[in-house]
Amino acid sequence: MAAYGLYTHIASNKFRSMLLLAGLFLLIYVLVYAGALIAEVVIDSGGSVDYYLTAALRDLIKAFPYATVAAALWIVIAYFFHQSIIDAVTGGEDVTRLQQPRLYNLLENLCISRGIPMPKLKVMDSDALNAFAAGLNRRQYSVTVTTGLLKALNDQEIEAVLGHELTHIRNGDVQLMVIAVVIAGVVGFFGELFFRSFFYSNWNFGGGRSSSRSSSSSDSKGGGGAIIVVIIAVALILLAWLLSQVVKLALSRSRELLADAGSVELTKNPDAMISALRKIENRGELPGATSAVMEMCLDNPRQGFADLFATHPSVDSRVAALVKFAGGHDPGPLALPPDTGDGTDANVDPKQLPTPSGPWSDADAPAGTPQGPWAKPAGPWGKRM
């Protein structure tokens, strides 16, 4: 389903999610069939190719209900525990208003201004500059930011980042991403299991394990048949793994462009989104994070071969889109502010910031005037001085 606008993008994400879930079961069956081929060769290495293919098909039919239950169980585990798994990988921890008043108030103001349910707020201890959203329903939605991002970005830029992640939640991107991670995870797990069994087993493809066939018969048709079938099984496992990686291609790169645009729509400040991207550029690598986690982040500096599997457009192209369609200004690559060690280095004088511009900004406002939903006194936190 092609997406030509925001609402078709959301509908497309739901449709793709359904297809990916169906694809997960199909890939599981392919892996089970490949495993059955290998098991038949281990049991009797003196058969023909036709014999192995037929026997493996019978095994697949017998294992079909168990494979279906296993795939469904994996989905249930992912549904309830994916956030815990992500937190275990990234070290993200829940924070409250008392722990992070600046960050909490920025996120809550954005949610109040647009009537968006408040997601959980998490912070991970990392010098990297990045953020990501996760969750499959309203009770699970969360936004995680790094401590490095909090130190390097000012309030307007952090607001833009939060608006970007909230747009991912609103557009249904996070559900699609979690499902893609589930598929890649289960296929990768079973694929690695089969390969470990293959390489750490001493198999004799010449018929030594078969007592029911003569040596001459095994040499004439069995050994070659076993080798061919093992090659077929390995090819199926590789195909399943490759398809699980190609699932990433279902994650249209336009989702990042739409999230950038959604952030501008929420904050009315394209320049803040541009400067945030420029500061984060090439500084978002999370040490120890899996590729699945990096694909959920605001910026993923990791690239596949020849950019084939890249899930994010380049920062240059994202900035160019904001300049063209939102009227922002590109300052070019930015150096990070010096770290004063007191946690206030990011709170630079607003007058030093570029004047917000574009169709959502106030062109008559003086340089450095705050833009967005809290530009005027509002909300439970009282007047802005």
CATH of residue 107's domain is 3.30.2010.10
Q: Would you say residue 235 lies in a domain?
A: yes
pLDDT of residue 248: 60
Q: Burial code of 263-275, b = ≥16 C-beta within 10 A, e = fewer?
A: bbebbbbbbbbbb
Please check whether residues 188 and 200 belong to one and the same domain. Answer: yes
Please check whether residues 144 and 157 belong to one and the same domain. Answer: yes
Q: Would you say residue 212 lies in a domain?
A: yes
Domain, as residue range, for 22: 6-90+175-250
Beta-carbon-side half-sphere exposure of residue 111 (alpha carbons within 13 Å): 18
> Which of the residues are catalytic?
165
Q: Would you say residue 362 lies in a domain?
A: no
Residue 177, token pair as written in the block = 């991403």
Beta strand residue intervals within 186-300, DSSP E: none
Q: Would you say residue 99 lies in a domain?
A: yes
Please check whether residues 15 and 111 belong to one and the same domain. Answer: no
End position of a domain, from candidates 220, 250, 280:
250
Please check whether residues 287 and 341 belong to one and the same domain. Answer: yes
Q: Burial code of 336-353, b = ≥16 C-beta within 10 A, e = fewer?
A: ebeeeeeeeebeeeeeeb
Please check whether residues 150 and 191 belong to one and the same domain. Answer: no
Please check whether residues 152 and 11 belong to one and the same domain. Answer: no
pLDDT of residue 60: 92
Distance between CA atoms of 238 and 162, rounded to whole angstroms? Answer: 38
Residue 12, token pair as written in the block = 């497309």
Please check whether residues 167 and 180 belong to one and the same domain. Answer: no
Using alpha carbons only, what angle is made at residue 245 by residues 250 and 119, rounded to the nearest 5 degrees?
Answer: 60
Q: Would you say residue 382 lies in a domain?
A: no
Please check whether residues 199 and 62 belong to one and the same domain. Answer: yes
Q: Are 208 and 279 in contact (CB under 8 A)?
A: no
Please check whether residues 29 and 130 belong to one and the same domain. Answer: no
Neighbour tally for 285: CB within 10 Å:
17
Please check whether residues 179 and 166 belong to one and the same domain. Answer: no
pLDDT of residue 342: 47
Q: Would you say residue 25 lies in a domain?
A: yes
Please check whether residues 237 and 286 belong to one and the same domain. Answer: no
pLDDT by residue for the chain (385 residues), tens digit each? 444 445 565 666 667 667 777 777 888 889 889 889 988 888 887 888 899 999 999 999 999 999 888 888 887 887 788 888 888 888 899 999 999 999 999 999 999 988 889 999 999 999 999 999 998 888 889 999 999 999 999 999 999 999 999 999 988 888 777 777 777 767 766 666 666 665 655 555 444 444 444 443 444 444 568 889 889 988 988 888 787 766 666 555 678 888 899 999 999 999 999 999 999 998 999 887 777 788 889 988 876 544 555 668 889 999 999 999 899 899 988 887 776 454 444 444 444 444 444 444 554 555 445 454 444 444 444 444 4
**Residue 360 vs residues 5, 325, 335, 352, 356: alpha-carbon distances, Å:** 19, 11, 27, 20, 9
Beta strand residue intervals within 119-241, DSSP E: 120-124, 131-134, 142-146
> Beta strand pairing status for 93-94 and 131-134?
unpaired
Please check whether residues 275 and 317 belong to one and the same domain. Answer: yes
Domains contained in the chain, number: 2
Q: Are 206 and 218 in contact (CB under 8 A)?
A: yes
First to last CA, the chain: 49
Q: Would you say residue 31 lies in a domain?
A: yes
Q: Would you say residue 366 lies in a domain?
A: no
